Amino acid sequence: MTKTPQAADVADLPIDAVRPPRPGRWIAAVVAAFALVWLAYTIIVNENLHWDVIAEYLMDGRVLGGLWVTIQLTVLSMVIGLALGILAAVMQLSGSPVLRGASALYTWFFRGTPLLVQLIFWFNIGLVFPSFGIGVPFDGPKLIEWQANELITPFTAALLGLAINEGAYMAEIVRAGIRSVDPGQREAAEALGMSHRQVLRRVVLPQAMRVIIPPTGNQFISMLKTTSMVSVIAGAELLTVSQRIYLGNFEVIAMLIVASIWYIVLTTIASVGQHFIEKRFERGHHALQVRVRRNLRPFSRGNA
Amino acid sequence: MVEPKVRIRSVRKCFGSVEVLKGISLDVPEGGVVCVVGPSGSGKSTLLRCVNRLETIDSGRIWVDGDLIGYAEQGDRLHHLRPAQLCRQRQDIGMVFQRFHLFPHRTALENVMEGPVVVKGVAKGRARERAMELLERVDLADRAGHYPAQLSGGQQQRVAIARSLAMDPKLMLFDEPTSALDPELVQEVLAVMRDLAASGMTMMVVTHEMGFAREVGDNLIFIDGGVIVEQGHPRDVLANPRHERFRAFLGQVL
C-alpha cells in the first residue's frame, strides 16, 4: 500500500532521481576522445612538421608585417563596405526607381561575379582606364590626372576589390535589418512628429542593428580569412608573405601553419569582440539575449 | 459658431481598387469624445489614420484646429505640404495604437521622453521631469526603468498614452486601444482614457467597448462599408438603434 504524503511532507520532497544510462553517448565520447589523442600524437611526433621552424617564423618581422596588412585590409574594407552597404540599402528603400535600380544593379553585379575575378580585374584596371582624372566628364578638360599604374598598387586594388564586394553583401544585410523592424515602429515615431531622418536614426536603425550586427560580425571574421585571396595579386598580407618565405626556404607546411595560427588568433579575438558588441545592442530583448548567448558559447553545457 | 477641433468633409480613400472610405463627413468639437465603431474592415481605423496622415486621402478635406491636413491651399490649387510641415502637424495629434508600438530598445521613461527630446528639442532634464509626471498620471511611476518587454499589455498601453501626451497634443486618436489586451487589463487602460476625457482632451476613439462609449462618448459613429450608417449620442443610439445593420452589429458585440 502506498503512503499518501501528508501536507507537511509535501513541502520537502527532494528530487534525487537516478539518470537512465546513455551507452550511445558514452561510446561516442570515448571514440571522439581517442581520435583526438591519436590526432594530437601523430601531429606532435611527425618530423615533417618542423615545429622549430614554425616557432622561429611565428614572430618573424616579415610575418608580423603581413599580419598588419591583413588587419588593415580587413578593417578598412569592412568600414568602407559597411558605408557602401548602408548607402545601397537606403537607396533600395527609396521612392525613386532610378536610385532603387542603381542599388539593385550594384548588388546584382558584385554578388554575381567571383571575388577572385574582381580582385584580378581591379589590379589590371589600367588596361581599361590607363588614367584617372577629375574634370569635365565625357572627355572634357581634366583638372588633375593620375596614371593607373601609380594609383593601383596591390594594396589599393585589394582594398577596392574587397570593399566594393563587401558593400554588396552588407547592402543585403542592412536591408534585411531595416525590413525586420515592425512597420508599426515607424508609424509610432511618425505619429510623434519625427522626420524621416529622425525615424531612421532614433527608431529604425537601433532596432535594425540587432539584426545587422550578428551577420556583420560573421562578415568581419570571414573577411579576415578572405583577405588571403589577395595573394593572387601579391597583396603583401599574411598569406603572401608566408608564400614568399616558403618559396625561399621550402618550408611550405610550416609557413602555412604559421599563417593559420595567426588567422586563428585573429578570428578568435574577433569572435570575442562580436559577443560583447551583440550584448550591447540587445537592450530590451532579454529572451533573445539569452538565446544568442547560448548559441555563441560553443562548449556551453545544457543546450539539449 | 465655434470652429470644430476636427472637421472631416467627404473623405474618400481607396486601397487599390477597394474603396474603404466612401465619403465620410464628421465634426468633433473642442473637448469632444467621438467613439467610432463598426465591423472589422469597415474603414474605421483607416479614417483615424487619415486624420494624422499616416494614410493619404483620395478626395475630401480634413482640418484639425482649422489647419488643412497634408496640404496647403494657395489660390485654387492644393500643394502637398513639405515633410517638415507634415511633421509639425503630427506633433499636435497624439496617436495610440492597438499594438502599442512602444520603442523596445528604450525604457518606459525613455519612451515618454523620446518625442519632446528628439522632435521638440526639450532639454533632457526637463523632459525627464515631465515624463515622470505623465507616468505618475498613468500610475506607472514605479515602472519607469522597465523595458516594454518587461511590462504587461495594459502597462505598455498606458506608457504609450503617456508617450503621446508628452507632446502636448490638441487631439488624441485611439485606434482600438484595448483590442490587443487580456480582458482583465482592459479596465486600467479605459480608466486612463476616462480621466483624459474628463480633463477636456478632444478624442477620437475607435473601439469595441460599448460601455466606454456610452459612459464617456459625446458622439457615437457607426461605420459600415465605408459610410457612416448611424450616429448620435451614445446613450440614444445604443438604446434605440434605427438601422438594421447597426442592430445586427450590436447583437454581435454586446
In a domain, A294, yes or no: no
Beta strands in chain B (DSSP E): 6-15, 18-28, 33-37, 59-64, 67-68, 71-74, 77-80, 93-96, 171-175, 202-206, 219-224, 227-232
pLDDT at B64: 95
ipTM of the complex: 0.93
Return the DSSP state at A232: G
Contacts of A58 (CB under 8 A, 6+ apart): A258, A261, A262
Q: Is the pLDDT of residue B2 over 90?
A: no
Q: Which residues pair with B173 in a beta bridge?
A: B95, B204
Measure Cα distances from A216 to A82, A85, A280 in Å: 9, 11, 15
Query: How many domains are contained in chain A?
Result: 1
**For position A283, what pLDDT does the model report?**
61
Note whether residue A301 is domain-resident. Answer: no
* Domain containing residue A272: CATH number: 1.10.3720.10
pLDDT tens, residue by residue, B36-77: 999 988 899 999 999 999 999 999 999 999 999 999 988 889
Quick one: cell of B24?
Answer: 465620410
Q: Are B119 and A188 within 8 A, CB to CB?
A: no
Q: Is residue A38 in a domain?
A: no
**Closest among A263, A57, A65 to A155, alpha carbons compared:** A65
Tracing cell 459625446 back to the chain, one arrives at B218
Our CA-based measurement puts residue A125 at a distance from the nearest CA of chain B, in whole angstroms, of 44
Burial of A232 (0-12, 13-18, 19+ CB in 10 A): middle
Give Cβ neighbours of residue B159 (< 8 Å, ≥ 6 apart): B100, B102, B108, B111, B112, B135, B138, B140, B143, B148, B151
Q: How many angstroms separate the CA atoms of B203 and B80, rounded?
A: 26
A285 CB within 8 Å of a chain B CB? yes
Q: Does B246 touch chain A (CB under 8 A)?
A: no
CB within 8 Å: B87 and A202: no
Best mutation target, B45, B86, B100, B105, to test chain A (most A CBs within 10 A)? B105
Residue A201, min C-alpha distance to chain B (Å): 11
Give one DSSP letter per residue of A123-191, joined into a string: HTGGGT-SEEEEE-TTT--EEEEEEHHHH--HHHHHHHHHHHHHHHHHHHHHHHHHHHS-HHHHHHHHH
Q: Which domain holds residue A230?
A: 67-281
Contacts of B24 (CB under 8 A, 6+ apart): B8, B10, B11, B43, B47, B60, B223, B226, B227, B228
**Which chain A residue has its CA at the smallest distance from B163's CA?**
A192
Residue A258 maps to a domain: yes
Residue A299: what pLDDT? 43
Q: Grid coordinates standing for B238?
A: 445604443
Torsion of CA B85, B86, B89, B94, to 10 degrees: -150
Torsion angle in degrees (nearest 10) through CA of A53, A59, A63, A65: -170
Using alpha carbons only, how large is chain B's radius of gyration in Å?
A: 18
Beta partners for A131? A147
Can you tell me the distance from the alpha carbon of B73 to that of B62, in angstroms, rounded to the nearest whole number?
Answer: 12
H-only helix segments in chain A: 7-10, 23-45, 51-58, 61-92, 97-112, 115-123, 148-151, 154-180, 183-191, 196-198, 205-226, 238-249, 252-280, 286-296
| Cα torsion angle, A97, A101, A107, A112, sign | positive
Q: Give the length of chain B.
A: 254
Region B86-98 average pLDDT: 95
In B, minimum Cα distance to A199 occurs at B118
Q: Which of A188, A195, A206 sits opposite B97 (nearest CB)?
A: A188
- CA of A282 to nearest chain B CA: how many angstroms apart? 8
Confidence (pTM): 0.79
Kindly state the average pLDDT of the residues B152-180.
96
What confidence score (pLDDT) does residue A280 get? 76
Q: How many Å from the N-terminal Cα to the C-terminal Cα in chain B?
A: 37
**Whether A49 contacts A253, CB under 8 Å:** yes
Nearest Cα of chain B lies from the Cα of A293 at a distance, in angstroms, of 18
Amino acid identity for residue B76 in this structure: D
Q: How near does any CA of chain B get to the CA of A211, in Å?
A: 13
Q: Is residue A5 part of a domain?
A: no
Question: Considering only residues 61 to 100 of chain A, which have any Cβ-Cβ distance to chain B shorter than 8 Å?
Answer: none
Q: What is the pLDDT of residue A303?
A: 38
Report chain A residues whose CB lies below 8 A from the CB of B84.
195
Check B101 against A196: CB less than 8 A apart: no
Looking at residue A304, its pLDDT comes to 35
Which residues are CB-contacts of B74 (< 8 A; sequence separation ≥ 6)?
A: none
pLDDT, residue A295, reads 47
Domain B6-251, CATH homologous superfamily name and number:
P-loop containing nucleotide triphosphate hydrolases (3.40.50.300)
**With an 8 Å Cβ cutoff, are B149 and A194 in contact?**
no
Cβ separation A203–B103 shorter than 8 A: yes
> How many CB atoms are closer than 10 A to CB B183?
7
Give dist(CA A76, CA A223) in Å, integer. Answer: 11
Rounded average pLDDT per 10-residue block, chain A, 304 residues: 55 85 94 96 86 91 95 96 93 91 95 95 88 79 79 90 96 94 95 93 90 92 94 91 93 94 95 86 57 47 38
Residue A26 lies in a domain: no
Our measurement of the distance from residue B48's CA atom to the centroid of its chain's CA atoms, rounded to an integer in Å, reads 6
A17 touching B, CB under 8 A? no
